[in-house]
Amino acid sequence: MLRKKKKSRHKMPIIENNVVSLMDVLTTLLFFLLVLTTVSELYIVPASALTAAATKTQVKKPAFALQLIVLDPKSAYVYLGAVENLSRNQPELLRDYLSKRFSGNEQTGYYRKLEASNSRDLLERLQDILVVLKRHFPKETRSVVAFTDVIDYQLMVDTLSRVRSLSQLRPAVQTTANQQTEVLFPQVTVSEWSGSGNS
């Protein structure tokens, strides 16, 4: 019998491709491309932004600043920033009120320390001041309220409530001849006060 000749199969040599080094190169390139595009965006400033920044620095608009610092359940500070160039109702009456009850002046601002027999009395006295300020600054809504470590949670809540709106027993504030409001300074920024009580 004739033997069948085996067909010789040519086997391709097995070559292992190492893709790890290629991935490392691509990852590094991608990282540098991202960094370069981010940095280039940071350094490209439109000319309109530069002119707007220049006009803002030249004309500085005066801002209303009201800060209340509750030191403990019986004492608090009230700070009112400079009011000299602010739009306000009845400026003469406001000047008279602030000069009699606060220290400071229109250019640097006013401050006053309140002392009360208890927390309820303190909140009533704080709201008395806020009512007067709202009457003279009806369009202002911002205030900052700071608390020390000794203030408990309930007093914080009660203080913020009194700063935002009138208590139930109080009549609405007459801001203009035709307008009344029960809202005082609703946009409250809360912070922690770590300064000394005598400052």
Domain ranges of the chain: 66-192
pLDDT at 41: 46
pLDDT at 66: 94
pLDDT tens readout for residues 2-28: 555 555 566 666 667 777 777 777 787
First to last CA, the chain: 118
pLDDT at 99: 92
pLDDT tens readout for residues 131-150: 999 999 999 999 999 999 89
Residues of the chain scoring pLDDT < 50: 39-45, 50, 197-199
In whole angstroms, give the CA distance from residue 76 to residue 81: 16
Residues 6 or more apart in contact with residue 145 via CB below 8 angstroms = 67, 68, 69, 70, 159, 160, 163, 188, 189, 190, 191
pLDDT at 80: 94
pLDDT at 1: 54
Mean pLDDT of the chain: 81
Residue 125 carries which side chain, given as an amino acid letter?
R
Residues 6 or more apart in contact with residue 192 via CB below 8 angstroms = 146, 147, 148, 149
